[in-house]
């Protein structure tokens, strides 16, 4: 064999463990049923001095019969070990073959049974094969598990000259809402169907694994890279285009795939996994439901992101954050308040968009401290405004779910001397998906304090009407997605009319975000929208500019 072929046929650590058992007949075959390795006793028994032409069918011709062959193919497809009884055509001697799945194909442990029927521990061999399968396979999906994945990568790497290997990390997109809305039983059903879709996309020298949760992986042993890996990655993404049907309900779950290729992207397990993870991050960053192959530019982007993450930890202490305030307008032209918008000016990079740094702050546990600073600064600014104006402050999920929110809000209002009804807290639907009882208690307590509560970005998440029935909202904010084409798109008009009517029917106000044209503002006023917000009505401004803005001779007439 050439070095590359040896690498492709190397047995996993589990398979090598079997070879340490003395005096056993063990043989290993690839997915085309060619013999790739065997124990010394097996080699002597079957006089195998070359692996080139030996196949499973040549070693055990009895397996070509219909039932035994079907059992072997079942092991290869499902990974579940099977016991297959065969009889020597010449001597009549019966033997039991324990067939089990391996990293490259299948393995066979032969248990002898002599002519007077002595069984040489068939049961113990069956138990051992079952335990071997359980230790190396995921119980839910039947795929090899993270342990098997790591063992096989570790056995294969580093790649010798001329050989290549692709690793693909696969994350399911939009899987969490299934668990949250339909339950974990439905989630398990989707995971099993997802595993089957991944498995069905694979060919020779390609193997799938379940790493954890909704994370899967594939190892591909093929030389024509990156072409073969990109072909398979696209096939995996396309396999998730159709919906999954769970109890008669169609649910859509996509797949994002990150690809790394050894030896170019890494020739040891940790490095290769890191580059595959970077490629997966790029796939998700580009919109999810797609595949990306690792490139050096991805590493540069990640390094820049990590630099920002490190800078974020000191941004608050060094005064790099500031707040701008955007007017909230009641048609036709009355100012009712301002929304506080957090900004970050990095000393080197400049302005960093909130969509970039807020998810970082949330994932690093920094948002509670930053959010408290925003709340205090916004309330202090509002205390200097005319008494009829209120201030709207966004609460991230991390802030909302942190214990003691209501106490912190009450203490802040007391400290700055701001009436509770002049503070409006904006939350998104995503924070309501978890800890429902606690969420309701928190919102009810804020409501008792007199704080106004707004449901932000309505219509862009899950938009369950039960939120509006069960939670005490004062205002619904229509996301700018439905406003941008409001003048020309009848569907957007229908949706906005529905939200306005629904909110008014429940005794709630409606605020439209992203109003950027006179036509949009006029249409919304005509349909009874209570408040408007957007660049047409007023751009975000520093606190010190509000006084001058309020003293303008007139505001925009709609």
Asked if the structure places residue 299 within a domain, the reply is no
Distance CA 161, CA 179 (A): 46
Asked if the structure places residue 558 within a domain, the reply is no
* Final residue before a domain boundary, out of 111, 136, 161: 136
Asked if the structure places residue 454 within a domain, the reply is yes
Residue 381's CATH number: 3.20.20.450
Asked if the structure places residue 555 within a domain, the reply is no
Structural domain for 55, as ranges: 3-136
3-state helix, strand, coil split of the chain in percent (to 5) is 45, 25, 30
| Mean of pLDDT values over 429-457 | 83
Q: 169 and 116 in one domain?
A: no
- Beta-carbon contacts of 428 under 8 Å, excluding residues fewer than 6 positions away, are 397, 455, 456, 457, 461
| Mean of pLDDT values over 436-459 | 86
Q: What is the pLDDT of residue 305?
A: 77
Asked if the structure places residue 301 within a domain, the reply is no
Q: Looking at the predicted structure, is the pLDDT value of residue 300 above 50?
A: yes
* Final residue before a domain boundary, out of 266, 294, 322: 294
Give alpha helix (H) positions in 208-365.
Answer: 227-238, 269-285, 296-315, 354-363
Q: 262 and 233 in one domain?
A: yes
Q: 372 and 283 in one domain?
A: no
Average pLDDT over the chain, rounded to whole? 85
Asked if the structure places residue 460 within a domain, the reply is yes
Question: Residues 70, 73, 79, 82: is their CA dihedral positive or negative?
Answer: positive
Helix (H) or strand (E) holding 260: strand 254-262
Task: Collapse the DSSP code of 527 into the 3-class scheme (helix H, G, I; strand E, B; otherwise coil) and give the result.
Answer: coil
Q: CB of 106 within 8 A of CB of 79? A: no
pLDDT tens digit string along 146-196?
Answer: 988 988 888 889 988 888 999 999 999 989 888 877 888 889 999 999 999
Q: What is the pLDDT of residue 392?
A: 97
Q: 273 and 216 in one domain?
A: yes
Q: List residues bridging with 113 in a β-sheet.
A: 119
* Final residue before a domain boundary, out of 236, 261, 294: 294
Lowest-pLDDT range of 139-143, 265-269, 427-431? 427-431
Asked if the structure places residue 13 within a domain, the reply is yes
Q: 199 and 118 in one domain?
A: no
Asked if the structure places residue 141 within a domain, the reply is no
The domain tally of the chain equals 3
Q: 540 and 392 in one domain?
A: yes
Distance CA 277, CA 281 (A): 6
Residue 21's CATH number: 3.30.450.20
Q: 175 and 126 in one domain?
A: no
pLDDT tens digit string along 360-414?
Answer: 898 888 898 999 999 999 999 999 999 999 999 999 888 888 888 999 999 999 9
Residue 252's CATH number: 3.30.70.270
Q: 314 and 290 in one domain?
A: no
Q: 257 and 231 in one domain?
A: yes
Q: 357 and 481 in one domain?
A: yes
| Mean of pLDDT values over 258-279 | 93
Q: 99 and 22 in one domain?
A: yes
Q: 357 and 240 in one domain?
A: no
Distances in Å between the Cα of 141 and the Cα atoms of 81, 144, 198 are 15, 9, 11
- Name the nearest CA neighbour of 324 among 348, 354, 347, 355: 354
Structure tokens at 159: 């790649």
pLDDT classification of 103: cutoffs 50, 70, 90: low
- Name the nearest CA neighbour of 275 among 299, 297, 252, 291: 299
pLDDT tens digit string along 19-74?
Answer: 544 467 888 888 888 888 888 888 888 876 666 668 898 889 999 988 889 889 88
pLDDT tens digit string along 193-246?
Answer: 999 999 999 988 899 999 999 999 999 999 899 999 999 999 999 999 999 999
């Amino acid at each position: 064999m050439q070095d590359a072929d040896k690498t492709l046929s190397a047995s996993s650590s589990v398979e090598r463990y079997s070879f340490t058992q003395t005096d056993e007949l063990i043989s290993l075959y690839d997915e085309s049923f060619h013999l790739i390795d065997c124990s010394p006793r097996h080699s002597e028994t079957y006089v195998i001095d070359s692996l080139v032409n030996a196949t499973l069918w040549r070693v055990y011709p009895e397996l070509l019969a219909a039932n035994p062959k079907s059992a072997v193919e079942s092991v290869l497809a499902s990974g579940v070990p099977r016991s297959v009884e065969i009889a020597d055509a010449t001597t009549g001697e019966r033997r039991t073959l324990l067939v089990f799945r391996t990293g490259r194909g299948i393995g066979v442990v032969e248990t002898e049974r002599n002519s007077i029927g002595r069984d040489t521990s068939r049961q113990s061999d069956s138990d051992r094969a079952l335990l071997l399968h359980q230790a190396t396979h995921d119980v839910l999906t039947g795929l090899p598990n993270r342990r098997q994945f790591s063992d096989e990568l570790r056995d294969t790497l580093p790649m010798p000259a001329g050989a290549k290997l692709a690793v693909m990390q696969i994350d399911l997109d939009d899987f969490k809402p299934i668990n949250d809305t339909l339950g974990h039983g439905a989630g398990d059903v989707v995971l099993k169907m997802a595993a089957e879709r991944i498995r069905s996309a694979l060919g020779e020298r390609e193997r799938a694994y379940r790493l954890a949760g909704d994370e899967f992986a594939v190892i591909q042993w093929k030389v024509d890279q990156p072409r073969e890996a990109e072909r398979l990655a696209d096939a995996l993404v396309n396999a998730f285009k159709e919906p999954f049907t769970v109890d008669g309900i169609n649910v859509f779950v996509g797949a994002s795939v990150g690809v790394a290729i050894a030896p170019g992207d890494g020739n040891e397990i940790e490095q290769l996994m890191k580059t595959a993870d970077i490629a997966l991050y790029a796939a998700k960053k580009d919109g999810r439901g797609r595949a990306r192959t690792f490139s050096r530019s991805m590493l540069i982007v990640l390094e820049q992101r990590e630099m920002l993450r490190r800078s974020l930890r000191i941004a608050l202490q060094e005064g790099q954050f500031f707040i701008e305030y955007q007017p909230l307008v009641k048609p036709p032209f009355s100012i009712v308040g301002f929304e506080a918008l957090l900004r970050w000016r990095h000393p080197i990079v400049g302005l960093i968009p909130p969509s970039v740094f807020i998810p970082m702050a949330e994932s690093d546990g920094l948002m509670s401290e930053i959010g408290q600073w925003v709340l205090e600064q916004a309330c202090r600014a509002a205390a200097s405004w005319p008494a009829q104006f209120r201030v709207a402050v966004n609460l991230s999920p991390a802030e909302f779910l942190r214990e003691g929110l209501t106490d912190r809000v009450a203490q802040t209002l007391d400290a700055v001397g701001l009436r509770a009804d002049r503070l409006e807290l904006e939350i998104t639907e995503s924070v309501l998906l978890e800890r429902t009882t606690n969420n309701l208690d928190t919102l009810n307590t804020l409501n008792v304090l007199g704080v106004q509560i707004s449901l932000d970005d309505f219509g862009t998440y899950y938009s369950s009407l039960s939120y509006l029935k069960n939670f005490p909202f004062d205002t619904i904010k229509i996301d700018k997605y439905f406003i941008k084409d409001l003048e020309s798109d009848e569907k957007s008009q229908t949706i906005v009319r529905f939200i306005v009517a629904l909110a008014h029917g429940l005794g709630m106000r409606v605020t439209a975000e992203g109003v950027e044209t006179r036509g949009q503002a006029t249409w919304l006023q005509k349909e009874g929208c209570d408040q408007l917000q957007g660049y047409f009505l007023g751009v975000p401004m520093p606190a010190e500019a509000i006084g001058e803005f309020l003293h303008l001779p007139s505001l925009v007439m709609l």
